[in-house]
Chain A
Amino acid sequence: EADIYQTPRYLVIGTGKKITLECSQTMGHDKMYWYQQDPGMELHLIHYSYGVNSTEKGDLSSESTVSRIRTEHFPLTLESARPSHTSQYLCASTRTGTYEQYFGPGTRLTVT
């Protein structure tokens, strides 16, 4: 069973607010990822990290930022939420030497 956690699971917030979506894993995985999943189910990679102090932007342009100060923690921050940020956000991790990804349960964000 995967040990990767996301909080909150659901969030409804007003436009302009700053929010942080939390993601933690207890598996010691060095690589972590954030995806945005649209209502049509397609996954879009928005950020990834190969290790502590390493962060990169993914294929989908995003106004969010991430940090990786500790191996187990990979939070995503939106400085000023907008309705266009309404989506499902999935965090994942993997370990060097394997390629399968372990996913958290997701955060469903609604910006009103």
Chain B
Amino acid sequence: GNSVTQMEGPVTLSEEAFLTINCTYTATGYPSLFWYVQYPGEGLQLLLKATKADDKGSNKGFEATYRKETTSFHLEKGSVQVSDSAVYFCALTGGSYIPTFGRGTSLIVHP
């Protein structure tokens, strides 16, 4: 079956630091890959996506590249802000439309 593994948190950074949250996956076929973000007291919202190998998804300064050779989709941002503090979920979805989520990584950014 499909699985997603992402780094455990919390990840604690100072404002303007570089962020990497690692995500690797196992899947049959060619799934689409996603990063979702969840702010306190809210549901998840789509941050970025990539639908095929070598695609780069980007949004709000965050980026992730679909690496089929390493089965990875690591999330990066060059300079984090306090407002980026949230929980980040890596996910994949294939033809069944049943997503597989990672366990979530909490990011805490200090001023």
**Chain A residues in the interface with B (C-beta under 8 A):** 2, 6, 31, 40-43, 45, 48, 50, 58, 90-92, 94, 96, 99-106
B74 within 8 Å of A by Cβ?
no
| A to B CB contacts below 8 Å, 12 in the list | A40-B103, A41-B87, A43-B101, A45-B99, A90-B44, A94-B97, A99-B93, A100-B32, A100-B46, A100-B93, A101-B36, A101-B46
- In this complex, what residue of A is CB-closest to B44? A103
B16-39 interface bits toward A, Cβ cutoff 8 Å, 1 = contact, 0 = none:
000000000000000010101010
* Complex Cα–Cα for A110 and B30 (A): 40
Residue of B32, B93, B98, B106 near A48 (CB, 8 A) is: B98
B85-111 interface bits toward A, Cβ cutoff 8 Å, 1 = contact, 0 = none:
001010001100111010110100000
